[in-house]
Amino acid sequence: MNQNRNVNRQITLNSRPHGAPTLSNFNLVESAIPEAGEGEILLRTIYLSLDPYMRGRMNDAKSYAPPVALGEVMVGGSICRVEVSNHQGFEQGDLVVAFSGWQDYSVSNGEGVIKLDSAMENPSYGLGVLGMPGLTAYMGLMDIGQPKKGETLVVAAATGAVGSLVGQIGKLQGCKVVGIAGSKEKCDYAVRELGFDACLNHNDADLESQLATVCSNGIDIYFENVGGKVFNTVLPLLNSKARVPLCGLIAQYNATDLPEGPDRMGLLMGNLLVKRIKMQGFIVFDDYGHRYDEFQQAMVPWLMSGQIKYKEDKVSGLENASAAFIGLLQGENFGKLVVQVGPEHLD
């Protein structure tokens, strides 16, 4: 069934995954379209953003944000049209960025809802290059990574929403940029289209020697998106005073236990100490939400001038969101993953 004006399709959390999520963890249900009360707006979802952090929300574990309860609608950022407004700050027809979740319709009191230009050419960019992943890439690299001309920057998940922007911003700062991605096709794209100096496939058996060859002067900044074996490969090559913006650890989001093999904690601590490496985690909106304007002032001109390129992986239909999300955790997406839930204008 396509989006319509009679039913609210919702994807809820049916059960908590143990390891990688499966389709049975999600449930597609139909309910009545909610009504906007006094001071509220009714939102219709056009685009839904699918992001790795959603895997953490499926666990019943303490984190920086509460988990999704069983039976609740999956959380997520979205681009929506205001269908009904009983709120002074919004009008019917406004295009907004919201956090309305995996569903066709939702009601909001306007908190955290940001208006976009209603005639914006690519509204879904508000979920990517001009939204949360863009802010993440910009702030993580510029504030924590502190890139300097001539330095070597390595970024993992190099063609994804965050990584593709980190690498391109790094090039604009004069860095030598080396990406790490999951296929030859992705690596070719990073070099040919995004302008990276090199990109290595983390599935190659000789990744370690390839990386050492490409990064012959060591690594000054490692933008960490994945963890696991990629981090193990990078660690010995980090230079003194290297910076490691710790953005994500997607390789371990489906893990149910600590990794097998020797305990590497001593090695990590030793490297941090002796090389005086600065490794800093961050949660983008908590730490940098107040600097959105600064990011936008840099990113919009870069995007308009073509200095930053942006690729989306667009999936059609809310009913395909669960499978697409499962694929995201296995590297099946190529670019920022968004779901087109409904048309920009619904008859």
Q: Any residues with CB less than 8 A from the CB of 45 and at least 6 apart, and which?
A: 3, 78, 79, 80, 100, 103, 104, 105, 106, 318, 341, 342
Nearest CB to ligand NDP, comparing residues 103 and 159:
159
Among positions 78, 85, 100, 225, the unique one binding ligand NDP when judged by CB under 6 A: 225
- 154 near ligand NDP (CB under 6 A): no
How far apart are alpha carbons 64 and 230 in whole angstroms?
Answer: 25
x-marked contacts with ligand NDP along 197-216 as a string, rule CB under 6 A: -----x--------------
* Distance of closest approach, residue 173 Cβ to ligand NDP, in angstroms: 19
Q: Long-range contacts for 60-65 (Cβ within 8 Å, ≥24 apart)?
A: 60/16, 64/283, 64/286
Binding span for ligand NDP by CB under 6 A among 6-14, 91-99, 179-187, 296-304: 179-187
Binding span for ligand NDP by CB under 6 A among 45-53, 71-79, 101-109, 260-268: 45-53
Q: Of 210, 205, 160, whose CA–CA distance to 312 is shortest?
A: 160
Phi and psi, residue 320, nearest 5°:
-100, 5
- 250 near ligand NDP (CB under 6 A): yes
- 155 near ligand NDP (CB under 6 A): no
x-marked contacts with ligand NDP along 320-339 as a string, rule CB under 6 A: --------xx-x-x--x---
* Distance of closest approach, residue 77 Cβ to ligand NDP, in angstroms: 10
- 136 near ligand NDP (CB under 6 A): yes
Nearest CB to ligand NDP, comparing residues 20 and 29:
20
Among positions 29, 214, 283, 323, the unique one binding ligand NDP when judged by CB under 6 A: 283
Q: Which two tokens stand for residue 201?
A: 């496939």
Nearest CB to ligand NDP, comparing residues 68 and 230:
230
Binding span for ligand NDP by CB under 6 A among 66-74, 95-103, 114-122, 158-166: 158-166
Chain residues in the site for ligand NDP (CB under 6 A) = 51-53, 133, 136, 157, 159-163, 181-182, 186, 202, 225-226, 228, 230, 247-251, 282-284, 328-329, 331, 333, 336
